[in-house]
Amino acid sequence: GSERDALSGASPDGLPPLREVIRTFELNAKKSLGQNFILDLNLTRRIARAAGSLEGKTVVEVGPGPGGLTRALLMEGAARVIAVERDERTRGALDMIAQRYPGRLDVHFGDALEADWPRILGDTREALIVANLPYGVATLLLTGWLDTEPWPPWFQRMVLMFQQEVAERIVAQPGTKAYGRLSVLAQWRSAPRIVLKVPPEAFTPPPKVSSAVVELVPHKAPSPDCSPRTLARVTAAAFGQRRKMLRASLKQLMPEPERLLEAVGIAGNLRAENLSVKDFARMALVFERSTLSRA
Ligand code: SAM
């Protein structure tokens, strides 16, 4: 049990405790890289288990850092972990894990925002994404994955740690303050839900705000099937001036929004937060068809 491990100083995987790893490899946290580490393997194992059974699965992890979540994923049975980490200082710590689990951990050093995922995955067609994301780039990484083409994507599920405020925006329903562009983009292509709330004290160093783990299961066939780029444009215009009525805010996008709104059957005096995810996708579809037909 974890109590005995704590007394003996050993971790259940036989590797040194994370505090010691951080000391040995001098991994003092860098703020610029969003480094808030989780050193409690019981917690990282709970996050790993939130992704469901990992037996035989390939897991993509962004930002393994000293390897707390990586170790948990391997302990919970992941056949392979493919990690992308920007900080080269973590090489020693991650090498140690790779040696403990031969052939099961690949680490790519570089910026995950620039990653060519299909190339990194090689022959692997199916994977899960599990990560304690660096907060500075968390939403960009998420929207990048949500933009994946073709769809359904190469990942069967994402289990991602965000700042709680961002997590709440991802799952927000129409008519609430948190409902916005990110809610629409996430919910059009996936079913997101918050699976775990994590207080600041769980991290080293503790961030200022609470965090939450969000599970996103991709929809096989998002409907209506507009292009993600058009949906991004329509939601940017509508929520960019969220207090305005749609007939005004959509002028960003086209000279006569009334025609589009009429074609989709949405009243021009509504505001962005009144529309459902489907409304936005329908609007995007009609918009792209009309611009296509004009081109
Ligand atoms: N997985 C570790 C854990 O749970 O303790 C570390 C999580 S920490 C919140 C975020 C990690 O992402 C750090 O290790 C940081 O170096 C890495 N990182 C930051 N920006 C990155 C980027 N653009 N691409 C890849 N990794 C990045």
* Alpha-carbon gap, residue 37 to 56, rounded angstroms: 27
36 annotated among ligand-binding-site residues: yes
Q: What is the pTM of this model?
A: 0.95
* Alpha-carbon gap, residue 167 to 211, rounded angstroms: 8
38 annotated among ligand-binding-site residues: yes
The pLDDT of residue 17: 97
60, 69, 86, best to mutate for ligand 1 pocket (most atoms within 8 Å of CB): 86
132 annotated among ligand-binding-site residues: yes
The pLDDT of residue 293: 53
| Residue nearest atom 21 of ligand 1, based on CA coordinates | 86
Q: How far is CA 166 from CA 37, 129, 188, in A?
A: 19, 18, 17
107 CA → ligand 1 middle, Å: 13
25, 36, 47, 85, best to mutate for ligand 1 pocket (most atoms within 8 Å of CB): 85
As a whole number, mean pLDDT of residues 14-36 equals: 97
**pLDDT, tens only, 37-46:** 999 999 999 9
Confidence band, pLDDT 50/70/90 cuts, at residue 10: confident
pLDDT over 70 percentage in the chain: 96
Euclidean distance between the first and the last CA atom of the chain, given in angstroms as a whole number: 66
177 CA → ligand 1 middle, Å: 29
Which tokens sit at 252?
């960003």
* Alpha-carbon gap, residue 49 to 109, rounded angstroms: 26
**pLDDT, tens only, 51-107:** 999 999 999 999 999 999 999 999 999 999 999 999 999 999 999 999 999 999 999
The pLDDT of residue 290: 86
Asked whether 68 lines ligand 1 (CB < 6 A), one says yes
251 CA → ligand 1 middle, Å: 39
Do residues 261 and 280 touch, judged by C-beta distance below 8 A? no
The pLDDT of residue 5: 52
Q: Is the pLDDT of residue 237 over 90?
A: yes
**pLDDT, tens only, 138-191:** 999 999 999 999 999 999 999 999 999 999 999 999 999 999 999 999 999 999
Q: Is the pLDDT of residue 1 over 50?
A: no
47 annotated among ligand-binding-site residues: no
| Residue nearest atom 3 of ligand 1, based on CA coordinates | 37
Q: Is the pLDDT of residue 223 over 50?
A: yes
Q: Report the run of H or E that residue 293 belongs to, with start and end.
A: helix 277-294
Of ligand 1's listed atoms, the one at least distance from the Cα of 70 is 1
Contacts from 186-190 at CB under 8 Å and sequence distance 24+? Answer: 186/142, 186/146, 186/216, 187/277, 188/219, 188/222, 188/231, 188/277, 188/280, 188/281, 189/146, 189/151, 189/218, 189/219, 189/222, 189/228, 190/146, 190/158, 190/216, 190/217, 190/218, 190/219
33, 71, 140, 145, best to mutate for ligand 1 pocket (most atoms within 8 Å of CB): 33
Mean pLDDT, all residues of the chain: 95
As a whole number, mean pLDDT of residues 119-124 equals: 95
Coil, strand, or helix at residue 83?
strand
269 annotated among ligand-binding-site residues: no
Kindly tell me the burial class for residue 223, based on how many C-beta atoms sit within 10 Å of its own C-beta (0-12, 13-18, 19 or more): exposed
Q: What is the ipTM of this complex?
A: 0.99
